[in-house]
Amino acid sequence: MNFLLDEVARATLRLADAGVPSPRTDAEELAAYVHGVRRGQLHEVADSDFDALYWECVARRAAREPLQHITGRAYFRYLELRVGPGVFVPRPETEIMVDWAIQTLRAMDVADPLVADLGTGSGAIAISIAQEVPRSRVHAVDIDPEALGWARRNIEASGHADRVHAHQGDMRTALPDLDGRLDLLISNPPYVPTTDSAVLPPEVRDHDPAPALWAGRDGLDLIRSLEAVGRRLLRPGGAMAIEHGDGQGIDIPRLFPEELGWRDVRNRKDLAHRDRFVVMRRAED
């Protein structure tokens, strides 16, 4: 074992003692970041190339600063995104919802699908859809100007700025020019109950921006609003997907009743087999 791998082993123990959920992975990711290699190449770093900056990064992670804020990057599906303070770090769980959206768009008999991503954050959802559904046009909305700055930088870097358009605004009133025209609406909205503050991991509570987290006492305030937004924006037969938190799946389907024109309302599970997002369609005329 070379010197760097010995240091990674020590860092793993330090991060585990600090309560970091994935200490080995994070210790390796930090080492790879500092030394400019991939995780699988750590054994190739010579002892003489060891950078003491590594231990500064480990100390920041042990203080529960998000790994992605330290490295400045987050991975989402086929993307490497720039992230940092002021923007919600995209989670792997959301990739399952995006996969559903992409498959749904591909199955539509629509040449140039029109999509909105409400609460875009880093732009992960919007850019993924534009990249994987090449003729789609995607409108990415966020109320937070700092988060939208990150999204705009990621959109520009992705090479899809001609088809992904960023808008600052409230998701509840956004995109009035597109009323009745959307083929798909997708959102990872705020859904954390305000009563859950004490139980959130420090990485979330202390570092994710508040506008991306809190949504009333039961966490459903924004999701309730999205019912009316979906009725306004979607064309007949258009589809919608909304991410939600653990335990919320039982309550959300009733917010999209058949008498208001919703069809095929059902929960979908994430890789851990937990209800993670709800999908539905607007009734055809």
Q: What are phi and psi of 275, to 5 degrees?
A: -55, 125
> Is 88 part of the annotated catalytic residue set?
yes
* 118, 97 contact by CB (below 8 A): no
Going by the annotation, the residues of the binding site for S-adenosyl-L-methionine are 119-123, 142, 188
From the number of C-beta atoms within 10 Å of its C-beta (0-12, 13-18, 19+), residue 24 rates as middle
Torsion-angle region of 91 (φ positive above 0: left; ψ -120 to 50: alpha; else: beta): beta
Q: Using CA atoms, how far apart are residues 170 and 83, in angstroms rounded to an integer?
A: 22
134 has catalytic annotation: no
Helix, strand, coil share (%) of the chain residues, nearest 5:
45, 20, 35
How, if at all, do strands 137-142 and 114-118 pair? parallel
Q: Which of 188, 193, 256, 277 is catalytic?
A: 188
> In angstroms, rounded to a whole number, what is the distance separating the alpha carbons of residues 78 and 115?
19
Per the annotation, the verdict on 267 as an active-site residue is no
Binding residues: 119-123, 142, 188-191
Kindly name the residue from 76, 88, 256, 277 that is annotated as catalytic.
88
Which of the following is catalytic: 23, 113, 189, 193?
189
Annotated binding site for substrate: 188-191
Active site residues per annotation: 88, 188-189
